[in-house]
Every structure is written in C-alpha cells, then in structure tokens.
C-alpha cells in the first residue's frame, strides 16, 4: 500500500491530496459491492453502513446518519463523492472534501484499488485524521475482508 501526497504543508500538516493504492485478490464487481453496500462496509469501515441511492452516498453509524453528494458513478470502475467527517462534530464543521475510488482489473485475479482523498485545503483536521493509518487501515481491512471473508478485527 502506498501513500503519495501533494501540496506539502508545514511540520505536522497533513497533505491536501492523499493517494492510497492496494492490490486485492478480488474482482472489480466484488470491490464495488464492498464499497457501496452496507452489509459489507459495516464489516471493515469502522462499523459504518454505506449505501448509494438517489445520487447520494448515505452513511450510518449507530443513530447518526449523513449523506454526501455523488459526483461521478461508473460501476464497477469509478466512484467519486464528497466527503464529510460527520462522525466527529469538530471535523464535520470543516468544508467537504472529495474521495475518488478507482478500480482497475489486473492479471491473475487481482484488482488495483486506488483511493484519492483530495480538496482537503478547507479541512485540515480531516486531512490529519484520515492521513497515514486512517485510510491505510480501512483499505487493509477491506483487502483482508475480501480475501479471507473476515476483517482484521471483528
């Protein structure tokens, strides 16, 4: 898994464009379902149930529900949506950012998943929160879940 970042900030400042890539032994369709269907997302994405409907990406965590605009949807290849960290009041007060999921089939039953989280200029606390191990844990958990049927932790 790699992190490639742009728009370098000062010491302790997270990047305003974050890129994470991982190879997963799964089909594009399996990855698409895993990132868009609540019965899958709740298993690896910190318990959040994600569902796409009516041009929005709905997320539910316990009693909290929030919706983000879908900017582009091309199943099972590409999903682009706004991102709001509504699970944390301090982060939720920041400007929305953008997340792009690129799903590229490769040889030997693998698929390259690249997640770009950008437009974080107006969301520095969100940028810090999701940088490094934030997205890397979610993607590692997704990879493990798809390849073994179980997430890294229950």
pLDDT tens, residue by residue, 58-98: 999 999 999 999 999 999 999 999 999 999 999 999 999 99
Check residue 123 and give its pLDDT.
97
Residues whose CB is less than 8 angstroms from the CB of residue 66 and which lie 6 or more positions away in sequence, other chains included: 58, 59, 84, 86, 92
Q: Which two tokens stand for residue 87?
A: 């699970």
Tell me the CATH architecture of domain 2-8+18-147. Answer: 2-Layer Sandwich (3.30)
pLDDT tens, residue by residue, 112-140: 999 999 999 999 999 999 998 999 999 99
How far lies 87's CA from each of 19, 90, 131, in Å? 22, 9, 16
The answer to whether the CB of 71 falls within 8 A of the CB of 53 is no
- The CB-side HSE value for 3 (13 A sphere, CA atoms) comes to 18
Would the pLDDT of 10 be above 50? no
Would the pLDDT of 11 be above 80? no
Decide: pTM greater than 0.85. yes
Would the pLDDT of 5 be above 70? no
pLDDT band at 13 (very low <50, low <70, confident <90, very high): low
Q: How far is residue 130's CA from residue 86's CA, in Å, rounded to a whole number?
A: 13
């Amino acid at each position: 898994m790699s992190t490639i970042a742009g728009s370098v900030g000062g010491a302790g400042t997270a990047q305003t464009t974050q890129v994470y890539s991982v190879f997963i032994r799964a089909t594009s369709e399996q990855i698409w379902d895993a990132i868009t269907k609540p019965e899958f997302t709740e298993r690896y994405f910190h318990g959040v149930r994600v569902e796409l409907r009516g041009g929005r990406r709905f997320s539910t965590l316990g009693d909290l529900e929030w919706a983000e605009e879908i900017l582009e949807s091309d199943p099972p290849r590409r999903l682009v949506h706004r991102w709001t960290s509504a699970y944390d009041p301090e982060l939720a007060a920041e400007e929305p950012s953008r997340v792009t999921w690129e799903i590229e089939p490769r040889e030997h039953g693998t698929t390259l998943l690249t997640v770009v989280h950008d437009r974080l200029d107006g969301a520095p606390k969100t940028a810090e929160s999701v940088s490094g191990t934030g997205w890397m844990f979610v993607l590692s958990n997704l990879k493990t879940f798809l390849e073994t049927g179980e997430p890294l932790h229950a």
